[in-house]
Amino acid sequence: MANVDDPTIKAAYEDVRNDKSEVNWVLLDYETEKSNTLVVTSTGSSDSPLSELEALLSPEKASFAYVRVKYANDEESFREKFVLIVWIGADVKVMRRAKISVHTTDVKRVFPAFSVQVSASAPADLSEKDIVVRLRKAGGASYDKA
């Protein structure tokens, strides 16, 4: 099991969900290479949160992120949805990789509200365009012609 008891994790989650907050993403990393304790390593507010977050993810790490994604339905309306990102870098060690599915369940207990979960191991997996398509499909109201 992952230790997600640090109160700053829940506070960061609530900050991302708060409509009055500019913070639109939080990143959790393991405290140390061998630890199962997750800690908040970064939060941010950006017009392009997935790009900002992508710059912090490395091939040697496994991380979890919670992101508020804002996208347009048309010229008149916008939606904001939440995404849980499970990052497993290409160079993550085998034992860490093996524990991720169990740890993801623990993270979902502190980040319970999200529209889609994205499993990512390369920057291309965090394409905003692709994630927005998934959010639209999950939302049930797609304004795309495809």
User: Between 65 and 71, where is the model more confident?
Assistant: 65
Averaged pLDDT of the chain: 92
- Mention every residue, 6+ apart, whose C-beta is less than 8 A from residue 122: 90
Q: What is the pLDDT of residue 76?
A: 76
Work out whether strand 78-88 and strand 116-120 pair parallel, antiparallel, or are unpaired. parallel
* pLDDT one-digit tens code per residue, 2-42: 999 999 999 999 999 999 999 999 999 999 989 999 999 99
* Phi-psi group of 140: left, alpha or beta (phi > 0 → left; psi -120 to 50 → alpha; rest → beta): left
Domain ranges of the chain: 7-139
Q: How far apart are CA 62 and CA 86, in angstroms?
A: 8
Domain 7-139 has CATH 3.10.20.30: no
Q: How far apart are CA 133 and CA 94, in angstroms?
A: 32
Has this prediction a pTM greater than 0.85?
Answer: yes
